[in-house]
Amino acid sequence: IATWNVRTIYESGRLEQVRAECERLQLDIVGLAEEGWTLYYSGGNSHNHGVGFLVSPRIARAVTRVEPINERVMVITVQVKPSPLNIIQVYMPTTDGDDNKVHEVYKEVQRAVLLDWLEDNRLIALNTCFRHRKSQRYTWTAPGELHKNMIDYITIRRSHRIEHEDSRALVSADCGTDHQLVWARIRGKAWCKRRSDQKP
């Protein structure tokens, strides 16, 4: 596995040059940043940035998922033993780039990682399941209140989805932290039964 910022492969012959180098170095999967098009690709038509994966024929048949999130973040899943391999390719803005763009890329990467973790463990994030005001969705405020994001979650097994009624961030809860309390209402009997030998 490798990652490579190739500037662009829109120029004639560049893709073949990249492919030849990958073959020479015996690379099976290469994440490409700032490229124009390839086997698996996520990006626009401006030919100045985007992400993609160049995958060898040996590995291509084991690719089970391709998820282009946007022109800067892409995920593929390769079926390997003992468990599937999730690979995230990211093209970060340069250091002199817009802070908002950098922040947005971090958010998308976090989303991709979280979604993979939830999927692998058959979980759902409760506080993403309901429509609420913005103030009840974000769970963290950046210094200076420039950015507000949902980065804290209550998760539950998908099979228990029917057992919860609501979940949100509670703005009213305060203990001096920059994170909101995340709340959920679960219906049903107590999850832990009292042991028969336990005294009341």
CATH fold of 1-97 reads Deoxyribonuclease I; Chain A (3.60.10)
Length of the chain: 200
Whether pTM > 0.85 for this model: the answer is: no
Q: Are strands 2-5 and 29-33 parallel, antiparallel or unpaired?
A: parallel
Measured from the Cβ of residue 162, the count of other Cβ atoms closer than 10 Å reads 8
Give tens-digit pLDDT for 75-116.
888 888 887 888 888 877 655 666 777 777 777 777 777 777
DSSP characters over 157-193 = EGGGGGGEEEEEEETT--SS-SBPEEEEEE-SS-SSP
Per-domain boundaries in the chain: 1-97, 122-200
pLDDT of 35 reads: 44
Per-residue pLDDT tens digits for 123-146: 888 888 888 888 888 888 777 777
